[in-house]
Structure 1
Amino acid sequence: MHPLLQRIQQFSAAEEFLDFFGIDYQPDVVHVNRLHILKRFNQYLNRTPIPEDADEAAARETCKSLLKQAHDDFVKSNAAQEKVFKVFQDQDGKSISLDSLKASLTTRAQKA
């Protein structure tokens, strides 16, 4: 693993990643989508791995570009559309109405 990736593994907040790479970000977007942004960043890193022998500047630029792209995905879209997490992938565009949820709970309560 590249030393830069080892260093950023210590970060815990999306803002730490964004600040470290000097990326301008929209706080309201990050507040709502922080986990989605980091998950997408990880997906991008998996598709574009950084070689262990890459120099620091190249590794940093690659990470910066991929993290900015991950952030910008959620500026233009939202978590449900981007489907980063399995719960959104399983939903596949279906919505659940409040009435159907209530009916489901009533049916379950009657069976219990």
Structure 2
Amino acid sequence: MSCSLDDKPIDPTDIAKRLKGLSSAEDFFATLGVTYDEAVLRVARLHILKRMGEYLAGDDLEGLPDLVAAARAKAVLARAYADFESSSPLAQRVFKVLKEHDPERPVPPKTAFVALDEIAPLPSR
């Protein structure tokens, strides 16, 4: 099932402040007027929002005019969502735990060093 918000215009008033107060992925999509497939959102909601945050990192939406900030936020959310439309959260590896356990980067074997005198004390002379 797809959620279409194309017929609803975005209210850009204080968009940066309003985005900070949102609590669900659906709220972000509704506020910014981005169309989404519920099946994609059900699987990747946190990953999409995390990716959106990565894309917005360093941008100061509060310093932009409302129309520009709203357009920027909408474009970034649509871009983050598109990353997961044709790919899985496991393939995208947004979160640290997934990045650290990448099967393409095997963990080097750990070696332990124990000094010989710790195993068997040397005889005193």
TM-score, structure 2 as length reference? 0.68
Instruction: Using the aligned pairs only, state the percent identity.
Output: 34
Distance 1:46 1:77 in 2: 22
Query: 1: distance between equivalents of 2:84 and 2:99?
Result: 16
> Which of the numbers 86, 92, 103 marks the counterpart of 1:76?
86
Letter of the aligned partner of 1:4 in structure 2? I
C-alpha displacement at 1:76, in angstroms?
1.4
Is residue 2:66 matched to residue 1:60?
A: no
Greater Cα radius of gyration, structure 1 or 2:
2
Q: CA deviation at 1:53?
A: 3.1
Q: RMSD in angstroms over aligned alpha carbons?
A: 1.4
Q: Equivalent of 1:45, from 52, 56, 66?
A: 56
Once the two structures are superposed, residues 47-78 of structure 1 have per-residue CA deviations (whole angstroms, 9 ceiling, x without a partner) of 5x035331100000000000000111000111
**For residues 73-102 of structure 1, what are the alpha-carbon distances to aligned partners after superposition, in whole Å with 9 as ceiling and x for unaligned?**
0001111111100111011126xxxxxxxx
Does residue 35 of structure 2 align to residue 24 of structure 1? yes
Query: How many residues of Structure 1 are paired with residues of Structure 2 in the alignment?
Result: 91
Question: Counterparts of 2:61 and 2:93 in 1: how far apart (Å)?
Answer: 28
How far apart, CA to CA, are the structure 2 residues paired with 1:17 and 1:89? 25
SS at match of 1:23: coil
SS of the residue corresponding to residue 62 of structure 2 reads coil
SS at match of 2:35: coil
- In structure 1, the partner of 2:96 is 86
Corresponding residue for residue 11 of structure 2: none
- TM-score w.r.t. length of structure 1: 0.75
Q: Is the 8 A contact 2:16 2:62 kept in 1?
A: no
